[in-house]
Amino acid sequence: MKTLFLIIFLGLFGMGGQCTAKLTSNTVGKSRSSFAFFLAVNGIVACLFFLISGGFRIGINSITLLFSLLYAAVVLLALFCNLKALQLAEICNVNVMNSAGGLLINSAVGFLFFQEHIDFPKLLRILLMLGAVLLIFLEKRTGKKPKPGFLPVLLGMIGAGLANNLLLKFYAMTPGTANENSFFFLTNAMLTGGAALWFLALQKRVPVPLKPLLTPRSLLPFAGNTVCSNVNSLISLQLIGRLELSVYTPLTGALNVLVNLLASLLFREKLGVYSYLAAALALVATLI
């Protein structure tokens, strides 16, 4: 029962994170300085979140520091690719393709390296998500097609997703690590420091006005995206420690497809019948 509630909350906060990311992409995509500023604000809010969540107690050891450093690099890649993809394509289609590609790779890693058992429900989930990808490619939509450069960004998203799951899986399995709040606090502290230095270096070369970035219209989506992403990180670490990769990936991937279809509707993106069929396949993959 606890696992079911965790999956539901993961979907809800995932939808909130994707909606705020869509709003954020319109601001941070204008320049590298804007993106660096967003990373710095994101990291500061995240550090405060995990500091409070951990009762102002942060544990530090060499194992946790190593995991935090690796995870910071993965988060940076995932964040950049996600924001870029949202500029090039519609929310629903980005997430269907990312979820399906991630499902295949994560399932293969689970079968090959974690000796996870292949059974009919797992195989059926893979086939359903492959069908969702095929429908997206067949889509003759009334909306816009992905812009050039989308495929490399998509591959970056899939690779970052695999690295994310593997790091969380190994962190949950490794003895001697600090608690999850300490792990995510250290990750975001590294991201904040790096982003701040990057922003200052960019400002020296090509200064950009900060006023548009300091308005509530910009800062509220920044903070909302950070909070949703951080809650998702805590939930994901709990889930991935309980489930096999070949179970965790299709369940969460299919759930993301469904909630992001709703996000597409909120943004009034015009989707064709194939997008809805792809979401239906994702629903079936979630329920079986």
217-229 per-position pLDDT tens digit: 777 777 777 788 7
pLDDT at 175 over 50: yes
Whether 221 contacts 42, CB under 8 Å: no
| Spatial separation of the C-alpha atoms in residues 135 and 273, rounded to whole Å | 9
pLDDT at 9 over 60: yes
pLDDT tens-place string over residues 18-50 = 777 767 766 665 667 777 887 788 788 888 888
| Spatial separation of the C-alpha atoms in residues 182 and 55, rounded to whole Å | 10
pLDDT at 242 over 70: yes
Under DSSP, the state recorded for 215 is S
Q: 243 falls in which pLDDT band (50, 70, 90)? A: confident
| Opening angle at CA 173, ends 169 and 179, nearest 5 | 90
- Sequence-ordered alpha helix ranges (H) in the chain: 2-28, 32-53, 62-88, 91-113, 120-138, 150-173, 180-205, 216-242, 245-266, 273-287
| Spatial separation of the C-alpha atoms in residues 82 and 20, rounded to whole Å | 12
pLDDT value for 257: 65
**Amino acid at residue number 61:** N
| Spatial separation of the C-alpha atoms in residues 212 and 149, rounded to whole Å | 27
| Spatial separation of the C-alpha atoms in residues 181 and 179, rounded to whole Å | 6
- Domain borders along the chain are 2-287
Whether 250 contacts 287, CB under 8 Å: no
